[in-house]
């Protein structure tokens, strides 16, 4: 774990001795984030051993940032030490959705869905491929179905056989979920949309009324927009995002294709679940594995 003392020494020696008030504001599976002050303004420095994550953030700002889609501007990017890279960005107002009170999240939902709709209506016609994108915005797969069946993870390379052999990953559960995914692939959209892939929770900032920042574009995809709804629904503990989003869509009278919506949603929730199981197994985290397994079984039992 990198400490604030290490970060302030890096910033003061490498950029300006007037930088002050470095504080840890978040730490995820792959990165740490620190706030700091300079010349009366607040900024954020994030550290990560995967440089493409930051390159994708910079791409998203250059191509997509607008008043409807607030993405923090990247000011500086480079090497932090032998294994970490850094990115300095503007600081967004407010706090993450995970840090908001339940009532504040409810007030934020209209702005949240408006922001998500802005992402889904971005022009994808100039980008090739499907699935997980690279730093230039192009997908890595020939089709959306190819991406889904690959379970490609750029940070945790694995094979299912390896997980069955070396971890507590259960082959029977995997096979049941995979069959359900395969049975629903025929219903997946053939129209290509921009998909954030990791939308909500720790990656969306709000002032309690409106969305003030959309962070972390490392998992951005070219595929079916329903995947983002499935992500919100799968990982939510208290809010039925599916129903709230459908109601928002009806109220706005937005003409988005909802053909086979439930089948698509189920397919993507199971895909998200299996990816989560694999990561938990790789990291030997039985608590996360048990929680994700319960969500998957609930979806399978609802059939």
| Confidence band of 17 (pLDDT split at 50, 70, 90) | very high
Report phi then psi at 192, rounded to 5: -90, 125
* Per-residue pLDDT tens over the stretch 157-188: 999 999 999 999 999 999 999 999 999 999 99
* Per-residue pLDDT tens over the stretch 20-39: 999 999 888 889 999 999 99
| Confidence band of 94 (pLDDT split at 50, 70, 90) | very high
pLDDT of residue 137: 98
* 115-149: b (≥16 Cβ within 10 Å) or e: bbbbbbebebeebebbbbbbeebebbbebbbebbe
Q: Name the DSSP letter for residue 244.
A: H
Q: Which domains does the chain have, with CATH numbers?
A: 4-90 (3.30.200.150), 96-301 (3.90.1200.10)
What torsion do the CA atoms of 170, 171, 172, 178 make, to the nearest 10 degrees?
Answer: 110
Alpha-carbon span 157 to 173, nearest angstrom: 20
Task: Specify whether the CB–CB gap between 94 and 205 falls below 8 A.
Answer: yes
Looking from the CA of 240 toward its CB, the CA atoms found within 13 Å total 4
pLDDT for residue 126 is more than 90: yes
* Per-residue pLDDT tens over the stretch 206-259: 999 999 999 999 999 999 999 999 999 999 998 999 999 999 999 998 888 899
pLDDT of residue 267: 98
pLDDT for residue 129 is more than 80: yes
* Residues 6+ positions from 247 with CB-CB distance below 8 Å: none
How large is the average pLDDT for residues 3-27?
A: 96
* Per-residue pLDDT tens over the stretch 249-289: 999 988 888 999 999 999 999 999 999 999 999 999 999 99
pLDDT for residue 102 is more than 90: no
Q: What percentage of the chain has pLDDT greater than the value 90?
A: 93
pLDDT of residue 274: 98
| Confidence band of 300 (pLDDT split at 50, 70, 90) | very high
């Amino acid at each position: 774990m990198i400490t604030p003392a290490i970060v302030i020494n890096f910033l003061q020696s490498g950029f300006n001795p007037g930088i002050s008030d470095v504080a840890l504001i978040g730490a995820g599976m792959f990165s740490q984030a620190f706030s700091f002050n300079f010349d009366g303004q607040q900024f954020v420095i994030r550290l990560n051993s995967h440089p493409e994550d930051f390159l994708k953030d910079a791409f998203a700002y250059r191509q997509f940032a607008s008043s409807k889609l607030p993405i923090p501007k990247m000011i500086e990017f480079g090497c932090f030490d032998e294994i970490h890279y850094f990115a300095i960005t503007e600081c967004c107002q407010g706090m993450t959705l995970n840090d908001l009170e339940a009532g504040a999240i409810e007030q934020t939902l209209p702005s949240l869905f408006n922001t998500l709709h802005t992402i889904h209506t971005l022009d994808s016609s100039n980008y090739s491929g499907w699935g997980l994108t690279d730093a230039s915005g192009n997908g890595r797969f020939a089709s959306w179905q190819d991406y889904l069946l690959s379970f490609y993870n750029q940070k945790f390379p694995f094979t299912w056989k390896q997980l069955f052999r070396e971890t507590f990953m259960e082959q029977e559960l995997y096979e049941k979920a995979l069959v359900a995914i395969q049975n629903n692939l025929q219903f997946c959209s053939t129209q290509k949309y921009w998909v954030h892939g990791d939308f909500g929770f720790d990656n969306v900032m709000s002032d309690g009324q409106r969305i003030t920042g959309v962070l972390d574009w490392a998992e951005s995809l070219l595929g079916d927009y329903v995947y983002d709804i499935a992500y919100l629904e799968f990982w939510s503990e208290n809010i039925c995002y599916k129903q709230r989003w459908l109601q928002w869509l009806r109220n706005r009278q937005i003409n988005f294709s909802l053909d086979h919506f439930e089948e698509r949603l189920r397919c993507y929730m199971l895909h998200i679940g299996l990816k989560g199981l694999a990561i938990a197994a790789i990291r030997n985290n039985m608590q996360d594995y048990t929680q994700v397994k319960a969500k998957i079984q609930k979806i399978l039992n609802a059939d």
